Amino acid sequence: KYTAMKKLNRSILRKINYCIGFILSLFGMTIFASCEYGCPPIQAEYGVPSADYQISGRVENAQKQGIKGIKVSLKEPNYGIFEGNPHATDTTTTDGTFSMKFTDFPENKIWLIAEDVDSIENGSYQRDSVLISPEFKDVPGSNWHHTAEVKDIVITLEEEKDNNE
């Protein structure tokens, strides 16, 4: 009699445990399902940090006039000023302005290089460079993603001197 009662109690406790486990698993699943419409997206941060850059400015001559058709490039300081592949490039518009947007590794310093690639149309100008230091802002909810905006950069280019003079 005692062993039959013991087996019955174990059977009842086992069924109660299964019921409790089932109910808890339902609650757990509904928590995940409810985030589909109300929770922020989960960001997997693998690899390396990154930054969204927005860099803009103007290339002008000594008389403060914008120069059209100047190629503006951004390069890492590790390779030297004029070596290595550019991060991004743009060509100045009729008023000498340029604007670049790109995503790359967050660099504390970047070379901004302006060079005349169509010397016939706008005269002939010497290549020049400026070292810029972007200020990064964190993207909310991310430890590895940043934004950097650098505006109103002015590069003044000097005209090429004619060697025949």
pTM attached to this predicted model: 0.63
Answer yes or no: are the C-beta atoms of 73 and 91 closer than 8 Å. no
Reported as a single tens digit per residue, the pLDDT across 95-112 is 999 999 888 878 888 888
Reported as a single tens digit per residue, the pLDDT across 26-72 is 666 555 555 555 555 555 556 678 888 899 999 999 999 999 999 99
Between β-strands 128-132 and 88-91, what pairing exists: parallel, antiparallel or unpaired? unpaired
pLDDT category, 75, cuts 50, 70, 90? confident
* CB within 8 Å of 116: residues ≥ 6 apart: 67, 69, 70, 71, 122, 123, 124, 125, 126, 127, 157, 160
Residue 106: exposed, middle, or buried by beta-carbon count in 10 A (0-12, 13-18, 19+)? middle
Closest by Cα among 123, 155, 157, 151 to 55: 151
Answer yes or no: are the C-beta atoms of 157 and 123 closer than 8 Å. no
pLDDT at 5: 76
pLDDT at 27: 64
